[in-house]
Amino acid sequence: MACSLEHAKEFNPLKSRIRVVRKKLQGVFVPVHCLQCTSMPCAKVCPVEAIYRDENTWAVLIDYDKCIGCGECARACPFGAITYDPDTKQVIKCDLCGGNPKCVEYCIDKAIQFLPFEDVERNKRFVHVDKVARAYLTDKEWAEGMI
């Protein structure tokens, strides 16, 4: 909701650049969005070279003056993160909102976070250590140190 409102000024999940895939009864809920890949397969197949990297935000962006709406980029994306806007007749994808992603701002549980790559790995190590340490600490040590 935050995404479509920010970019298209209206609410429509089809215009959101982040789409959640829900497989409810399996307990699987995964947001899918552009991962700003290093090799940019979308840019490679674009016939009019409308896709480029923003050096400031590192986001992979679409130049809407050039985009012809052919959809080749959507077909090249391994994640299905590029979709087609039927009103503008061009493609849409996550542009990191210029460096301050709206979706991150509104996710109350911090399920989506905007972090440097190194932090993601480090966070995982900490979570793992938490689990191991739990077994060794007393209740008080646990309450004092780990929350």
Contacts to another protein by CB under 8 A: 1-2, 4-5, 8-15, 24-29, 86, 105-106, 108-109, 139-140, 142-144, 147
Tell me the two tokens of residue 7.
Answer: 């970019």
Question: Which residue's CB is nearer to another protein, number 49 or number 144?
Answer: 144
CA angle 8, 11, 14 (to 5 degrees): 80
How many whole angstroms separate alpha carbon 93 and alpha carbon 9?
Answer: 16
Q: How far is the CB of 116 from another protein (least distance, A)?
A: 24
Question: Which residue's CB is nearer to another protein, number 51 or number 96?
Answer: 96
Q: How far is the CB of 64 from another protein (least distance, A)?
A: 19
Question: Which residue's CB is nearer to another protein, number 15 or number 33?
Answer: 15
Q: How far is the CB of 102 from another protein (least distance, A)?
A: 8
Q: How far is the CB of 117 from another protein (least distance, A)?
A: 27
Q: How far is the CB of 137 from another protein (least distance, A)?
A: 10
End-to-end CA separation in angstroms for the chain: 32
Tell me the two tokens of residue 52.
Answer: 């480029």
Is the CB of residue 74 less than 8 Å from the CB of residue 46?
no
Question: Which residue's CB is nearer to another protein, number 13 or number 47?
Answer: 13
Residue 31: strand, helix, or coil: strand
Contacts of 4 (CB under 8 A, 6+ apart): 10, 11, 12, 13, 14, 15, 16
Question: Which residue's CB is nearer to another protein, number 105 or number 121?
Answer: 105
